[in-house]
Amino acid sequence: MTEAENRKPQSDEARSAYDPEITSEFAIPAGLALARAGGAEPETTSEFAVPAGLEVAPPPAAESEGSAFNTPATYSAREAPSAFTPASGVPMVSLTKNVPWQDRMRTMLRMPVADRPAPEQAQKADDSGPAVPRVLDLTLRIGELLLAGGEGAEDVEAAMFAVCRSYGLDRCEPTVTFTLLSISYQPSLVDDPVTASRTVRRRVTDYTRLAAVFQLVDDLSDPETHISLEEAYRRLAEIRRNRHPYPTWVLTLASGLLAGAASVLVGGDLVVFVAAALGAMLGDRLAWLCAGRGLPEFYQFTVAAMPPAAMGVALTLAHVDVKASAVITGGLFALLPGRALVAGVQDGLTGFYITAAARLLEVLYFFVGIVVGVLVILYVGVLLGAHLNPDAALGTAHRPLWQIGASMLLSLTFAVLLQQERSTVLAVTLNGGVAWTVYGAMRVTGEISPVASTAVAAGLVGLFGQLLSRYRFASALPYTTAAIGPLLPGSATYFGLLAIAQNDVDSGLVSLSKAAALAMAIAIGVNLGSEISRLFLRLPGGASAAGRRAAKRTRGF
């Protein structure tokens, strides 16, 4: 190789081929290379890798991440605090035995959820706690019997609330509609709620059964009476299987006596009394026959309204010197759905508008059935030449003693038809006599409007009924429903139908509007009397201001 060739610079390929020690300019210098353990082969890593001596030790293994709604490890449901604590603190409400459970539970229900105190468990449970599904099932079965018996929605909710709290289930929310009962229980703020429901498919008027259910709820709410779930189920089964206190023939006789007593109230004599009683008993038997054939209640009311009207038309065609209007009016008294009307208006006044609308719609259907039955007979009577006078009641002679006696007989027979306990019949009979006396004094002596007189008399019925129910720790229905019987607008209903049958539609609608006004006055008066009794009587724990504050509702905005 010449000297010129030696001075020529060599290419990179030549150098790399002949000098393997020379590497890239990014290679680590020989003096800074770190020795690898175990003589492992060199590994090429990123320039962003963390040097071997600077690695951070990994953290210890942590708990697996779960849902934010899972129960904390330190939480105990049996020692949990109240679900909600308002800023002003939990109010002091003592659920003492000295106050009826209806008032205690109604006060709790009318409180906002955030203000309800923890329950005072009345029934003792074992260490594992109450069987929540069975308690909810028992609660629904009790509510079903109460709702089927005609109890108001608020009182049904109060009873369901009392049963749940008796077994320590405080976070319960019962819901009552016309045919559906449901209840939801949330064990804690972090547990899933338990919900159950039950449908009411059949309604039976039996106030003896209603009183037995109220007694069961009262025993469950009493901390001194220890009733297990099995014992409560056994008593509930006995209540369901109980026989009615009065046989069928007594009910038929009672319907006849009720119609006869009502005919005396509107000026009838002995002949009218007998005719009205026979027509009502015949209508009752026909209604029982339709019920046995499975016909709906609408047709039962239609058929039951025909015999009394036919009896009055027959007496008119036979030229018997009696008031046919009194005969027909007496028969209508035994059919007017006063119980359902009072319950419907009460539900509306206490804020259960869906249930109230359903009850009032039921009353409307029953009333239409009565109208159809009576109108058919009246049309036939007019075609046959029966001269029915719409002004026949204007000359009614007022006989105070006879009418007071008739009103008491009407209330007594109405109580028998409602299957009341024999111990309550005397009280409701006297209550009905007082109601008619007040009405007669205001209407006849004072010449006050019949609507106002009816409302005041019904208010006294509700007041006395609530006082009697508080004294016996029972339902107020057995003491009020039968007592409003003498106040029912039977005559106004009849004369309205008669005017329509004689093509005087305007007068008929006016009379029917008067009947509707009287019915509303009865229902509102009964409810107002009950609320007045709760307003002035002692509330749970003496907390009158806190208790009444719970009854506030929306103000329209």
> Would you give the distance in Å from CA 455 to the centre of its chain?
24
pLDDT tens, residue by residue, 29-65: 666 655 555 555 555 556 666 666 666 666 555 445 4
**Pick from 65-69, 176-180, 406-410: least confident:** 65-69
**3-class secondary structure per residue, 37-106:** HHHCCCCCCCCCCCCHHHCCCCCCCCCCCCCCCCCCCCCCCCCCCCCCCCCCCCCCCCCCCCCCHHHHHH
Secondary structure E strands in 381-430: none
What is d(CA 311, CA 318) in angstroms, rounded to the nearest whole number? 11
Average pLDDT, the chain: 75
pLDDT at residue 99 in the model: 59
Question: Given this model, what pLDDT does residue 153 score?
Answer: 86
Round to whole Å and give the CA distance between 353 and 359: 10
pLDDT in the model for residue 190? 74
- The string of pLDDT tens digits covering residues 312-325 is 888 888 887 777 77
What is residue 140's predicted lDDT score, i.e. its pLDDT? 92
Using one digit for the tens of pLDDT, what is the confidence trace for 175-225?
888 888 999 988 777 778 888 999 888 777 788 888 889 889 888 888 777
d(CA 303, CA 297): 10
Q: What pLDDT digit, counting tens, does each position of 335-364 carry?
A: 877 777 778 877 887 788 888 888 888 888
Contact 538, 503 (CB under 8 A): no
The span from the CA of 86 to the CA of 113, in Å, is 10
Average pLDDT of the segment spanning 127-138: 77
Contacts for 33 with CB less than 8 Å, ≥ 6 apart: none
C-alpha count within 13 angstroms, C-beta hemisphere, residue 435: 37
Position with higher pLDDT, 500 vs 196: 196
pLDDT score of 182: 92
Q: How far apart are CA 131 and CA 196, in angstroms?
A: 14
Give residue-wise pLDDT tens across range 152-173. Answer: 888 888 889 888 888 888 778 8
Nearest to residue 325, comparing CAs of 313, 339, 307?
313
Res 95: pLDDT: 47
Decide if pLDDT at 397 tops 80.
Answer: no
Q: What is the pTM of this model?
A: 0.69
